Structure 1
Amino acid sequence: MRIVIDCDPGNGVPGANVDDGLALALAVAAHPELTLEAITTVSGNTPSALGFAAAQTLIENFGTEVPIYLGAERALVEPPERWRTHLDREDADATVTETWGSTPRPRAAHDVPGIPAAQALGELVRAYPGEVTIVAIGPLTNLALATRLFPDFARNVARIVIMGGVFEVEGYPVDTNFGVDPDAAAIVLSSGARITLVPMDATTTTLMTHADLDRIERLDTRLTRALVPTLRPWITYSARTRGIGGMWIHDVVTVALLLDPGTVDTRDLDISVDLLPGPTRGRTVRWAPDALPAPGAAPAPIEVVTRIDNARLLTLLTGWFAAHG
């Protein structure tokens, strides 16, 4: 299966989430069942340029080669300042620097292609119509731009698997990926493409602990030696700040369900994105078949992940990492 991962990795970045790197590692380990044709970066968890450096460092450290394209640095409409203040945590918490300690930082980016991510996505999907699945684990800015640049994009893409959206998670009226760029989320969800949505409601039932990571570390492969040190500080930080005993592994679910659909349960729902001003801008909304949508809402039929088997997910990760050698 040809895939592209559109992401905002923070591996090695103090205070940044790291589950993008876990998703990238699984995609690399699962070759040739999955062929990672390209990686594109977008501003979200990290600014796009920093995410590019993090992705490039990981891929080089994994010992493989994948084209990486620099994507959108800001949302279509949404001002970036509020989200950047929230997400760029290195100076926000006195314990962050200590927690990340000697964790290797991303190296300076090099050989950045002149083709922007949205164009690369559109050209790849057009070159292999019906064959490319896009795994979107950051804000959907690049994909929205691709739909504008390539009118046949939604028709030609095989599937888009999105980590994003939230319906009813206490304390999270909006998730980061849709909140950073609500307009892009609305464009992509209503594009007509085949979409599987992996919302926070499901991913916050996942958990990776230090003990789980110890099992991966004991595999002692080139890939795990590169990956594990970038995950440990976030597990510590997340356990302390969220009180959950480890870290949620949102993004890797999108790759795992391609390898083992039984890892998740799904349900078809009519979904829209709230674009009204206010604290719920970017919120995902479910509509009953006989409901009257709010003015401006454009509900679309979407396959939504409703349950994740965390034990099966962790076993899948360990198995593929071991098989990769």
Structure 2
Amino acid sequence: MHVLEAGHERADRPCVLLLHGFPELAYSWRKVMPQLAAAGYHVIAPDQRGYGRTTGWSADYDGDLRPFNLLNLVRDALGLVFALGHRHVDAVVGHDFGSSVAAWCALTRPDVFRSVALMSAPFSGPPSIPFDTANKPAAPKADDLVHRDLAALPRPRKHYQWYYATREANDHMQHAAQGVHDFMRAYYHHKSADWADNKPYPLQGWTARELAKLPTYYVMDAGETMAEAVAKEMPSPDAIAANTWLPDSELAYYSAEYARTGFQGGLQWYRCNTTGLFNTDYELFSGRTIDVPSTFISGLQDWGIYQRPGAIETMQHKACTDMRAVHLIDGAGHWVQQEQPTEVSRLLLDFLHKK
């Protein structure tokens, strides 16, 4: 595992583990790590399985997906913490898909992951096993017709997570017509507070009509690739030059890594999710809640908090029993720890000191 560390000078420092999402790397925490380390923490941030300079994983579309399921990603986190000489961490912090891994860390090993900060992606709990069915069998699970309905809209659409599960998605991004660097520039811009149309609000349900209200980086036009979708929102050269939270010199680190590795390692995570292959494994934890102290941090301009209707409410009132606060930071879209690192660091330290 490729790991970034800060505050490793003394072995007795309490540990904080930071888990990135897609399409990011440990590098996404570069502005937060020094601030947490200055407060006395040993801060570790890995390139997770499927990403960057971490090795030992396969990008074969036809290969075994089990190494990318959430419980194995928790094992990766546990193994890393133990390898670096810690029996527990004061907090596991996850952003985007890393939020799901952090949530499952806290759910399954609360003795090790003693608090959790979820960022940008709410956690609504493990899947349920049908209950009290001995004399009244459970009704068959209804088919999810939302994808059919999205395709049948007057403006046909498709959901990005199911697009990410296709064989072609990696090639569309790694070999985008505009090049990986410009693809990632447009992608990051489109989902940030810099894009003026990011004005999220709760959706009323998991229906095609409601989901079609999401921007095209979440619910895409049916005939487009992700590279084509975000190219329409490519910022101007002046806007790129004025960007302070992700200048071109820093974006170049991401684009170089993804040009080298491709995106398939991260896309395998989406395939695990959309296929439901491992739901029976996750059902082992049916009814379990996150009982360690928890907090949620996101950008106020981040549609990610509403892309699953009802998830943020379920997280607060059911999935997490000790949710201390929900913070929505103005001036940040989806990339909250990059767009507003000082405020994210302040909120994390406040949570760590008061839990």
Q: TM-score, normalised by structure 2?
A: 0.32
| Higher RCO by CA contacts (8 Å cutoff, separation 6 or greater) | 2
User: Which structure has the highest strand share of the two?
Assistant: 1
